[in-house]
Structure 1
């Protein structure tokens, strides 16, 4: 499994940029919570997508 594929890299980079933009007023615990939820959603979507193929 190649981890540097566009369908993995692009959502991660976009969510990092979005978190940076929105998270300027957030505390670190809130940021970590949002990051973990976002990564779980990305992994779930990719897992479901690969399961359907």
Structure 2
């Protein structure tokens, strides 16, 4: 994401490793994604969310 100019906001590990500290839930990670697909490791339920239109304005 960094290479295309859309880094993960509030990421403590990338692109520069930040000092270890407590999680800050007031500033969660912000990821821009068109699709999110995964299998829940507990329920084994398949999840698939899509956004057909992205609006950056």
TM exceeds 0.5?
A: no
TM-score when normalising by structure 1: 0.25
TM-score when normalising by structure 2: 0.25
Larger relative contact order (CA 8 Å, sep ≥ 6)? 1
